[in-house]
Amino acid sequence: MGNVLTVVAKLSAKPGKGDELAGILAEQVAAVRRAEPDCLVYRLHRSKKDPDLFLFYEQYRSDAAFDLHRKAPHLAAFRDRRDPLVAGPPQVDFYLSLTE
């Protein structure tokens, strides 16, 4: 499937908040997988080197699918719980697949 939108997002927990943030992010993953059929991949990773650093690897069928993800009401509740635990805004990069 060509032209898949890939999103790579990194976010850091405030010092000592990594475990609490990990729990909230894992719940977020489950919610996205349940509610967003056009989100093809939504994987959460935690750095082996820095346990307060997290990476999301996401793939969406289209830009429109990602736009729906960003505006999804189920994510707003997670943002409210997540944001007090993060050190700053996420770093987000976007890629368009060239091969399948």
Confidence category of residue 98, pLDDT binned at 50, 70, 90 = confident
**Which residues span the domain enclosing 57?**
5-96
Per mean pLDDT, which range of 1-5, 44-48, 56-60, 74-78 is the poorest? Answer: 1-5
Task: Name the domain count of the chain.
Answer: 1
Ramachandran bin of 3, using left for φ above 0, alpha for ψ from -120 to 50, beta for the remaining angles:
left
Instruction: Give me the CATH number covering residue 31.
Output: 3.30.70.100
Q: Please state the pTM of the whole predicted model.
A: 0.90
CA distance 86 to 21: 8
